[in-house]
Chains A and B, each alone.
Chain A
Amino acid sequence: MKVHLFVPCLVDQFTPQVAAASAKLLKAAGHEVIIPTNQTCCGQPAFNSGYWNEARRVADHFKSVFQGAEIIVGPSGSCISMVKNHFEEVGMAFDRSVKIYEIVEFLNEYGSTLKFKPTPGKVIFHDACHALREMGLYEQPRQMLRRVPDLEIIELDDHQACCGFGGTFSVKMSDLSLDMAGQKVNAIQRSGADFVVSLDGGCLMNIQSTAEGLGVRLRTKHVVEILADALLPDMDR
């Protein structure tokens, strides 16, 4: 299938390897990947902060960059939810014929040929709020991770509790945000996992940075990084 890859701004600026892993997986699954290089952001930060005119301007840019796309996929539950669910609220909805997926959701449906090598390790899957509640992605990422042999997936007791990121919330209400993030970091630390994985770079950045501030050693990865690293060599074209 012909797929346009959306690279969310945080991913591009801070964790470009997540975008590279996304492209690699899509190609390995046999899809034609188009990467528009003029893309920037979906406008979500402004939208959630109440600046809808600014969000509309950025969404307008997004739409012109992705004009003609039939399928848009990207590694972020919340950014994809912005494009899929909230563009409409700023008058920028894509035509219904354009299909929009979080990348792991897409691979779970259109990546059955992917083969993974045994990768021993323990990961915690952190349910990113918007991936879970706005995109309904609960089973899909877990199913994908279970396809990696020897990878153990640990569930936190309070795995659906927010990490406290919330975009500009983490700046506007930083004490609250840090308190929430600290609680999440402690729970992760107690679990003894090697990695925290999630579908949202924002959550992972927040968890990682809070852990560093608390002096807790902890590593975070997007689900696609785990999957791309575990791809069998002959899948990597």
Chain B
Amino acid sequence: MDFSPKAIKKNFAESLRDLTLRKNLTKATTHTIDKRNAIKVSSPEWDHWRDAGAKSRRESLLHLDRYLTQFTEQFQQLGGEVIHAATTEEARQKVLQIIQEEQGRIVVKAKSMVTEELALATFLNDHGIETWETDLGEFIIQLAGEHPSHITAPAIHKNRLQIAKLLHEKLGQPYSEDPVVLTGYARQFLREKYFAADVGISGANFIIAETGQIILVENEANIRLSTVLPRVHIAITGIEKVVPTRIDFANLMRLLPASATGQKMAGYVSALTPGISGGPKRQVIILLDAGRRQMLYSPKWEMLACIRCGACLNICPIFNRGGGHAYGSVYPGPMGAVLTPGLTSAHAAPDHAFASSLCGACVDICPVKIPLTKLLVQTRKEVVEDKNHRHLGEAALWNSWAFLMRHPQVLQFFRTIGSKLPYRIPWGSKSRRLPRMAEKTFLSQVRHGQFD
């Protein structure tokens, strides 16, 4: 598959033929959705939490600079360093610079979608810094030389047998299909890396303005090891991840694990505070813009409320048929279809927003009530109005259509011809054809007095 947003149509065609992929995906997403639904059903307060979460995320966005300043002051006061990066390239260079200052040779990485935006592991390895993904799913993806196909479950497209084969080949361990044994192989390999690493890199699920803390949510404790054991910790996060207070964070934690993995609470939740004894000697946070402010000041600003739970991917009939790789972008699914062109330009991912039937299942499941279908339609409008991407033929068709719809008599003339066609018109395919038009429309019957 071609990892480019412009290859989305070709990629989906490929995915639709891949029945193993479909099976792997649906099995995993259905399981997660079922667990998530069970929590929702057993939590009478769910809607209240969701309202509060939606409100709190929007509060952060509406006063983003105030909360970022507050966070920065707190974080610096505790001894942490705050760096702003306008672009992914700038962020990459800052990370490299810090590692070089520290004469770092080995880096352990926590799972983070922002670092995927930077393609950071590849970048560092290319610069001679040995960099390891420590999240099991990400580790599998790294060994396979692939991109994550889901924002919370990077290897969701692979089944146990495919993983067994991969670990056997790449790690040289005896072949096993037992998940416990397989996890053991990864643990054994990575354990040495944690102790040898000079620098740990993570993202952030939230950063709290009130306290200057970085919040990391996980199930494997690999993030804890990656952020605490090495002498330097660099966190990289999008500017939108700031939350005002601990109360906001606590409420979002009711929504995040439930929506992401169908858990009431994640295995490990870390609140990293710079300067705490036993922690890293140097703690840096890079606040990344990379298109976020451009979105913040646009009609699509609510997309930045996203807490990256991935529920919209799990429920999406399109994602479940294509898989994450088909999107050819870091962020797949409904959120990715809005975010990818939003962070770059309509022109860079012109087909993303059209890979949706606008069914709205994502809107229903979103824990912070992002109106995804509205944002998808808004994105379509931007694609259509983008001068670099104008389909003149299509635009002319819609223009004629609008003329017809404003002139009922002309419409009646053309539909009379249409209703006399001797065959049924193919509907996007020869195996589905439009029905025949009715001999007489209802409105023409009314006009002729057949209804009173």
Q: Which of A's residues lie within 8 Å of B, judged by CB?
A: 7, 9, 11-17, 19-20, 23, 35, 37-41, 43, 45-55, 57-58, 60-61, 89, 129-130, 133-134, 160-162, 164-167, 169-181, 205-206, 208-210, 212-214
Q: In this complex, what residue of B is CB-closest to A213? A: B431
The B interface, classified by DSSP as helix, strand, loop or mixed, is helix
- Docked complex Cα distance between A50 and B346 (Å): 12
**B434 touches which one: A11, A55, A58, A209 (CB < 8 A)?**
A209
Q: Are B427 and A49 in contact, with the CB atoms below 8 A?
A: no
| B183 in contact (CB, < 8 A) | no
User: Is the beta-carbon distance between A166 and B356 smaller than 8 angstroms?
Assistant: yes
A50 B451 Cβ-Cβ under 8 A: no
The yes or no answer to B168 lying at the interface (CB within 8 A) is no
Are A40 and B438 interface neighbours, CB within 8 A?
no
Contacts A51-B398, A133-B364, A179-B321 known; A38 to B435 CB distance under 8 Å? Answer: no
Name the residue on A nearest B434 (C-beta).
Answer: A209
Q: Decide: B435 and A54 in contact? CB cutoff 8 A.
A: no
The residues of A that contact B322 with a CB separation of less than 8 Å are 176
Contacts known (A129-B358, A164-B357, A177-B428); A58 close to B405, Cβ less than 8 A: yes
Q: Does A181 contact B357, Cβ atoms closer than 8 Å? A: no
Contact digits for B241-278, partner A, Cβ 8 Å, 1 yes 0 no: 00000000000000000000000000000000000000
Interface segment among B56-64, B207-215, B442-450: the answer is B442-450
Among candidates B395, B405, B447, residue contacting A61 with C-beta atoms closer than 8 Å: B405
Q: Which of B354, B359, B415 has the most CB of A within 10 A?
A: B359
Q: Which of B300-325 contact A (CB under 8 A)?
A: 317-318, 321-322
B344 within 8 A of A: no
Q: Identify the closest chain A residue to B326 (Cβ).
A: A176
- 6 pairs from A and B in contact (CB 8 Å cutoff): A37-B408, A48-B380, A54-B399, A129-B361, A165-B357, A209-B435
B433 within 8 A of A: yes
Contact A37 B443 (CB under 8 A): yes
Given contact pairs A167-B358, A169-B356, enumerate 4 new A-B contacts (beta carbons under 8 Å). A13-B441, A47-B377, A174-B428, A209-B427
Interface contact tally, CB-CB below 8 A? 177
> A177's closest neighbor in chain B, by CB?
B428
Q: Which residues of A contact B404 (CB under 8 A)?
A: 40
Tell me if A173 and B381 are in contact (CB < 8 A).
no
**What are the residues of chain A within 8 A of B446 when measuring CB–CB?**
35, 37
Shortest distance from the beta carbon of B397 to any chain A beta carbon, whole Å: 9
Return the 4 tightest CB-CB contacts between A and B, nearest first. A174-B428, A166-B357, A50-B380, A162-B359
Given A40-B405, A173-B355, A177-B428, the answer on whether A16 and B445 have CB atoms closer than 8 Å is: yes
A13 x B438 contact (CB < 8 A)? yes
What CA separation (Å) do A51 and B428 show in the bound complex? 20
Q: Which residue from chain B places its CB closest to the CB of A56 in the assembled complex?
A: B402
A196 to chain B: closest CB distance in Å?
A: 14
Question: Closest residue of chain A to B430, judged by CB?
Answer: A213
User: B435 touching A208 by the CB < 8 A rule?
Assistant: yes
Contact present for A209 and B406 (CB under 8 Å): no
Q: Which residues of B contact A209 (CB under 8 A)?
A: 427, 432-435
Contact A50–B381 (Cβ < 8 Å): yes
- Which listed residue, A14, A51, A57, A174, touches B406 by the CB 8 Å rule? A57
Find out whether the CB atom of B321 lies under 8 angstroms from the CB atom of A54.
no
